[in-house]
A and B are shown apart, each in its own frame.
Chain A
């Protein structure tokens, strides 16, 4: 069953919280992972791998650098769902 954008956002916020301790309500669509949320590349990769498992999608390494904002990630994950 495909996840809705709201479900992906909520799930992503949980993963960000697990990895970094950032409050889930601060994980908003317009936020930049690096500039606003101060997530480094290693934490980003941990979140990506956990998101792959949670949403049953593949996010190749080459795509990760294109995921600049939470919106980018939500769009990619919802688009990549089978």
Chain B
């Protein structure tokens, strides 16, 4: 029998660079409190959010993705034509098909690289990094662009007190490339569809066809909080074990920027030493779902460039429910 050829595999992959683009306008709490009968203090106390970045200049999600991607490509020192795959994690594509990734691939000069979107909400970026790591290590790609991008201002309801006031717009991008030793640990990822409705859209495309209003996002906040802290803390520990490291080996902790209270309690549960920098981009950017981890990484590295080369635990979690975590060497 004929034996099929296989590609030579690689010892590792790593994040070479990160790029970011945020909505052009920082919307303060005071602009949102009226319809939810709330106050700046109420929002800050429950979420740690002072502003959220939202698009006001007409940019679409793919425009944000392009800006972040071009920065990441430039910082990686490569040309778009050297990308062997483009992965976009988003819930903000404007059409069911074609993918945002195919359009982005064309815009960054990477055509004919394979391109696809991932629908994994706030875990989407971590899912994308898991895919990119596997593609590079398997020999199928040398450089992979992973973008997390959202324009969540499209799915907010000004009268909703569950999640709308958290949400922002932005894109974060990384280029994952080949490395002589592992720069991305084995990913710990999964799903739990028994909680499919815990974070959800208010109605379906079919119901809109029959006259239902534009769909917006909702969540069961306390249930999500319990899952996001105590269940995800277990997954974070699994990711550290999979990487073969202890919390004290970390330079940074970059969780999905869902809510400052989740971040604070999560860090407490992990017993992170004071030496670990904790990403808190949410205070000004808000919750940008798939974009939040790379955006937070970008800010951390701008503010504390000495973290470059250190280890960061990144974990995404959200609607599905789905989660993904890995330890990465910071670019």
Asked if residues A40 and B226 are in contact (CB atoms below 8 Å), the reply is no
Asked if residues A61 and B265 are in contact (CB atoms below 8 Å), the reply is no
Please report the C-alpha to C-alpha distance between residue A48 and residue B45 in the assembled complex, in whole angstroms: 19
Segment among B186-194, B217-225, B245-253, B312-320 that sits at the interface with chain A? B217-225
CB-nearest residue of chain B to A52: B230
Which residues of A are found within 8 Å of B223, using beta-carbon distances?
A: 61
Q: Indicate if A45 sits at the interface (CB-CB under 8 A).
A: yes
Asked if residues A49 and B45 are in contact (CB atoms below 8 Å), the reply is no
CB-nearest residue of chain B to A46: B265
CB-nearest residue of chain A to B262: A42
Which residues of A are found within 8 Å of B222, using beta-carbon distances?
A: 41-42, 44-45, 61, 64
Q: Chain A at the B interface: mostly helix, strand, loop or mixed? A: helix
CB-nearest residue of chain B to A62: B223
Q: Chain B at the A interface: mostly helix, strand, loop or mixed? A: helix
Please report the C-alpha to C-alpha distance between residue A12 and residue B220 in the assembled complex, in whole angstroms: 24
Asked if residues A42 and B230 are in contact (CB atoms below 8 Å), the reply is no
Please report the C-alpha to C-alpha distance between residue A48 and residue B46 in the assembled complex, in whole angstroms: 17
With contact pairs A49-B226, A49-B230 given, residues A41 and B221 touching in the complex (Cβ less than 8 Å): yes
In residues 199-227 of chain B, which contact A (Cβ within 8 Å)? Answer: 220-223, 225-226
Q: Indicate if B75 sits at the interface (CB-CB under 8 A).
A: no
CB-nearest residue of chain A to B226: A45
Please report the C-alpha to C-alpha distance between residue A60 and residue B237 in the assembled complex, in whole angstroms: 24
Q: Indicate if B261 sits at the interface (CB-CB under 8 A).
A: yes
Please report the C-alpha to C-alpha distance between residue A61 and residue B197 in the assembled complex, in whole angstroms: 14
CB-nearest residue of chain A to B223: A61
CB-nearest residue of chain B to A40: B46
CB-nearest residue of chain B to A61: B223
Whole-angstrom distance between the Cβ of A10 and the nearest chain B Cβ: 23
Which residues of B are found within 8 Å of A42, using beta-carbon distances?
A: 46, 221-222, 225, 259, 261
Which residues of B are found within 8 Å of A61, using beta-carbon distances?
A: 220, 222-223, 226
Whole-angstrom distance between the Cβ of A21 and the nearest chain B Cβ: 13
Interface string of A42-61 (1 = CB under 8 A from B): 10111011000000000001
Please report the C-alpha to C-alpha distance between residue A41 and residue B47 in the assembled complex, in whole angstroms: 12
Please report the C-alpha to C-alpha distance between residue A40 and residue B230 in the assembled complex, in whole angstroms: 18
CB-nearest residue of chain B to A64: B222
CB-nearest residue of chain A to B42: A40
Which residues of B are found within 8 Å of A46, using beta-carbon distances?
A: 229, 265
Whole-angstrom distance between the Cβ of B173 and the nearest chain A Cβ: 31
Please report the C-alpha to C-alpha distance between residue A42 and residue B223 in the assembled complex, in whole angstroms: 9
Interface string of B40-68 (1 = CB under 8 A from A): 00000110000000000000000000000
Please report the C-alpha to C-alpha distance between residue A61 and residue B321 in the assembled complex, in whole angstroms: 16
Interface string of A4-30 (1 = CB under 8 A from B): 000000000000000000000000000
Interface residues in chain A, defined as those with a beta carbon under 8 Å from any beta carbon in chain B: 40-42, 44-46, 48-49, 61, 64
A-B contact pairs, 11 of them (CB 8 A): A40-B45, A42-B221, A42-B225, A42-B259, A42-B261, A45-B222, A45-B226, A46-B265, A49-B229, A61-B220, A61-B222
**What 6 additional pairs, Cβ within 8 angstroms, besides A49-B226, A61-B222, A61-B226?**
A40-B45, A40-B46, A41-B222, A46-B265, A49-B229, A64-B222
Interface residues in chain B, defined as those with a beta carbon under 8 Å from any beta carbon in chain A: 45-46, 220-223, 225-226, 229-230, 259, 261, 265
